[in-house]
Amino acid sequence: MKHPKRKSTPPTAWTDTADWYDHLVGEQGSEFQRHVVFPGALRLLAPQPGENILDVACGQGAFCRLLHQHAAKATGVDASPDLIKLARSRNSSLTPHPSPLSPSYHIADARNLAFLPADTFAAAVCILAIQNIDKLPPVFHSISRVLAPAGRLVLVMVHPCFRGPKFASWAWDEQHNTQYRRVDRYLLPRKEPIVTHPGQKTGQYTWTFHRPIHIYVKALRNAGLLIDALEEWPSHKSSTSGPRAAAENAARSEIPLFLALRALKIPPPTAANS
């Protein structure tokens, strides 16, 4: 009896789109990263001088370089060899260089960080990448293993309530002159292809994985990571002209673009208190 062949799933590492992504993010991050995501992540993370901090799915190292500016020792991991190559090439622009605090980079799957020693990182971040990684449990268990006791994880994602791929969009209410966010699906987890190189029709795409918030909370808890902060960040952009400008700005300020979570590594329960 012949068994049907399993359909292969395209890898989620951004190797095939590295050049496009590097052009989008560049040396210091994309516009949203510079104005909203990085400042918010730094505030939640509160990096201290000399701390060892892990950047999971670091891309070309924009946040690692920002951690270097705060005198932290950043270690970046990413599954894309091309993005890691770009990250390493930018170390030469750091001041001072070379330095013991210069970021180090490793090609690695976020779901398997066994090459890193346990209980060694004061903190970890995963910025705008968790929605592109499947599955969640091995990612959070891997991060939890390398965090020191009471170590903190800052997780930033595109807000799953309002930004579900292909099933959420802006709409205009003519009767009330109001811009609103239409959400057609939320609770059912799913994956969707996201086309890269918009407008160029290259055929290249990557996957994004939609999950409702409770799935993130459960996966973090099961990995011994207890959420102690949750923030929702709107867009920094503003409409300055046109008849709908006021409504557009009101909608932007009320409907968040990003969700940020901070979780702390807690000790496993003992027989006495389990």
Give me the pLDDT at residue 197, please.
Answer: 54
Contact 200, 219 (CB under 8 A): no
CB proximity list for 64: less than 8 A, separation 6 or greater = 55, 58, 74, 75, 76, 87, 103, 105
Q: pLDDT exceeding 90 applies to what percent of the chain? A: 76
Contact 170, 181 (CB under 8 A): yes
Strands 258-265 vs 147-158: parallel, antiparallel or unpaired: antiparallel
Q: From the centroid of its chain, how far is CA 110?
A: 12
pLDDT one-digit tens code per residue, 233-247: 999 999 999 999 999
Preceding omega of 234 cis (within 30 degrees of 0): no
pLDDT one-digit tens code per residue, 19-34: 666 666 767 888 999 9
Q: Read off the pTM.
A: 0.87
Which among 15-29, 36-50, 200-214 has the top mean pLDDT?
A: 36-50
CB proximity list for 63: less than 8 A, separation 6 or greater = 29, 33, 38, 41, 55, 74, 125, 127
Three-state DSSP state, 19: helix
Average pLDDT of 116-124?
Answer: 98
Cα separation, 166 vs 185, whole angstroms = 9
Q: How confident is the model at residue 1 (pLDDT cuts 50, 70, 90)?
A: very low
Cα separation, 171 vs 178, whole angstroms = 9
Residue 194: is it exposed, middle or buried by C-beta count within 10 angstroms (0-12/13-18/19+)?
Answer: middle
257, two tokens: 């673009």
55 CB neighbour count, 10 Å cutoff? 27
Residue 18 has pLDDT above 80, yes or no: no
Cα separation, 210 vs 190, whole angstroms = 5
Contact 63, 40 (CB under 8 A): no
- Residue tagged 């170390």 (tokens): 91
Cα separation, 215 vs 153, whole angstroms = 17
Domain annotation for the chain: domains and CATH numbers: 18-159+208-240+257-265 (3.40.50.150)
How many residues make up the chain in this entry?
A: 274
Three-state DSSP state, 66: helix
* Choice among 28-37, 136-145, 213-222 with the minimum mean pLDDT: 28-37
Contact 128, 58 (CB under 8 A): no
